[in-house]
Amino acid sequence: MPFESSAPDPRHAASPAEFVAQLRRLKAWSDLTYRRLEKEAMRRGHVLPHSTIATALKRDSLPRTELLAALVSACGCDEETVALWVAVRQRLNTGDGAAAPTFSPATPYDAGTAHPADGSDHLQDTGPARPPDDAGTPPVPVRPRDAGPPGARPGLARRIGRMAPLAAMLLAGMVVLGASSRPEQGHPEQGRPQAGDPATAASTPLPSPAAWWRFEETGGSTAYDSSRHGADAAIGGGATRTAAPGGHALTFDGGGHVTARGPIVRTDEPFTITAWVRLDETDDWGTVVSEHHGAKAPDVALLDYDAEHRDWAFMMPDRRKGWAMGKETVFAGLRPVPARWTHLAVVHDPADRRVCLYVDGALEACRTRASLTRANGPLDIGRAIHDGEPVDGWHGAIDDVRVFPAVLDRAQVGAVAGHRA
């Protein structure tokens, strides 16, 4: 992906849609998330909710002048640059084709960071995008989304052309037949491993989980630990039980949560977290599982839905900053389907220096990470904690949450996904 070191120039815009596209480039150039932009705007004396920014950048119409000024300033631009953006907006709003005043690009918010220049917007409906990685360590590619049916390999057609005609016809027929048997895009059961499927059978027995919440209780405010390690958790904040495939699950309205006392596993050592989730609302962030470091210290690990990128994600916030940028997040690269049950799994392997994210039993992405902070606080299901306050509550349902003090391989993750409890 190409990069640019100076702020995008709004004078290149010839229409409101192109102007907003330049704003998206400016946001990408700043390398700040929507929530960080909100905080930066507040520091500069503006009120700019992150949801307002997201809505403005999804549209092709000109934003309000005061919103524009606050956003450009929050991106790290000086007053002269802000004035230029406002002047170009005024020109486009009145239809005046006169050239905008000249200016010198402002000093970027973080001059040592490269920024994307392709004009891409993480909120476009063309599919999820990933933020720039300022550490120069891009995620490990696992499988191209257009790689075709499982088992297909580059150069297959070329090799078929060299085979005997009959063999080529037979092989081509097998490929077509395999492709036609794949689930239809968007179908609720797409990608879900089925119980008893040989492909999901673990090559080695599953290790004993440190905690396992099945949410099969008939009532009460306690989620009992099926691992028999005594990690019973308290249900609160409006989380309620509901029917789910194979039994019951807990539903969350953004305020409900399940809290287990103390850390369940050492997050600086090998661990795997798995859960079945149903996401009912995609306009806001939602946390599946989070491990905390302390009362007001940043979260250590969060398995969640990232509304900014419309993607499943595992976040490992920087212990000093308290938030996760590109190098601290693993994105699945899959746009979640609302109201569809999906199996998520994250595997932390410090020996291999990697954190990997699985969706419906399939390995989707990995990121190099040397180590994580050791969490010394509780584990929460359905919410995160920021500065001591609950944030990013889950909207939907969660079921069959397991925490393993070990690295699960692909077959073992597939076995967990294929046998819902």
Burial of 128 (0-12, 13-18, 19+ CB in 10 A): buried
Instruction: Say which amino acid occupies 389.
Output: E
Q: Which of 94-98, 133-137, 245-249, 271-275 has the highest mean pLDDT?
A: 271-275
Please state which of the ranges 80-89, 333-342, 362-371 shows the lowest mean pLDDT. 362-371
Beta bridge partners of 253: 395
Span 295-318, average pLDDT: 82
Residues whose CB is less than 8 angstroms from the CB of residue 222 and which lie 6 or more positions away in sequence, other chains included: 232, 233, 234, 235
| 171, containing H or E segment | helix 165-180
pLDDT of residue 235: 96
Question: Within its chain, how far is the Cα of 328 from the centroid?
Answer: 11
Q: Which residue shows structure tokens 């920021």? A: 386
Q: Which of 48-62, 285-299, 403-417 has the highest mean pLDDT?
A: 403-417
Beta bridge partners of 211: 403
pLDDT band at 42 (very low <50, low <70, confident <90, very high): confident
Burial of 120 (0-12, 13-18, 19+ CB in 10 A): middle
Please state which of the ranges 147-156, 260-269, 380-389, 394-403 shows the lowest mean pLDDT. 147-156
Q: Quote the CA–CA distance of 143 and 300 in Å, as a whole number.
A: 28
**Does residue 366 contact residue 139 with C-beta atoms inside 8 Å?**
yes
pLDDT of residue 52: 85
Check pLDDT > 60 for residue 378: yes
User: Packing angle between helix 50-58 and helix 65-74, nearest 10 degrees?
Assistant: 110
Check pLDDT > 80 for residue 417: yes
Burial of 264 (0-12, 13-18, 19+ CB in 10 A): buried
Tokens of 107: 């000093």
Mean pLDDT of the chain: 75
Dihedral over Cα of 409, 229, 305, 355: its sign: negative
Span 316-321, average pLDDT: 61
pLDDT band at 210 (very low <50, low <70, confident <90, very high): very high
Q: Quote the CA–CA distance of 265 and 274 in Å, as a whole number.
A: 13
Beta bridge partners of 115: 4
Q: What's the pTM value of the predicted model, to 2 decimals?
A: 0.56
Q: Which residue shows structure tokens 């690990």? A: 301
